Structure 1
Amino acid sequence: KRKLFHAIWGIMLDNEFIEAYRSGIVITCHDGVLRHVYPRIFTYSADYPEKIILATIRDKGLCPCPRCCIPKSSFHHLGFASDLKGRLCHTRNYPREKIRAARRAIYNLGNPVKGTVVERILKDYSLVPTLVRDIFYVFPLR
């Protein structure tokens, strides 16, 4: 499911679209006037199950937030001044090497996906062994 979801976004956000997003394209509109337009993707709203697919993290894991690596055990700090500081210090970065190590354990060494070797590599950060291309990095956050 995760691989399919990211593969679809990868097809939609191809190099041609990214270039149009950055530089715009000139099109002839219905009224015959040439206009320079910049394609945009309007707000993508996702519920929690969709967010975990997008973030490639595990459902209800030890670090369930798709944006930071704050563990569930620190949720009682939510809303306090220290909460924001903690989230900024624990921003989630895509841990490509951990995921590659887990995939080597699965595909090269024959360890089960839910086995102890793979769990030891991925569980602490609620990761899954899905390696995806980062397709959203070219879009500025606004």
Structure 2
Amino acid sequence: MTQPFSSDAETTVTFELEVHVIVGGEPHVSLPAAFHYHCMDPYAVRLSIGSTSSGTVNWVFALSLLQEGLCRPVGEGDVLVSPRRASHGPVIRTVVRSRFGSAVLDMKAAAVAEFLDRTQELVPPGSEGTYVDIDHVADLLLAIGE
């Protein structure tokens, strides 16, 4: 991949990478994937796995899981992230679970770190709250109660 990054008027970061996927103890399968980050949702990251021709699977989880997962195992419930050593170098292992099953996703740690660096350039740490539209969030919460 020659251009792993793309941005939309500096409000989003998209980073393409390869993910090694293991499901049900089967041999790993390498699939294209992309991390997506938007400054209006500064605490979340979306991971899209697969291609548009074969269909994608999307997971949305806390950006902090990736940040902390570079250094130590972290997470509870549906998403777990931990650093690991593999034969081809350091990887970030992400385990995703749903009621339909689970999958193990291995990504190069350097690629994840590069993506995280780019998100911090877009939204500096500690400034996330200035990007959240509180009125919009309140409207969404009130609509749920109706």
TM tier, smaller: 0.3 to 0.5
The structure whose Rg is larger is 1
State TM-score, norm by structure 1. Answer: 0.32
Whichever structure has more helix as a proportion of its residues is: 1
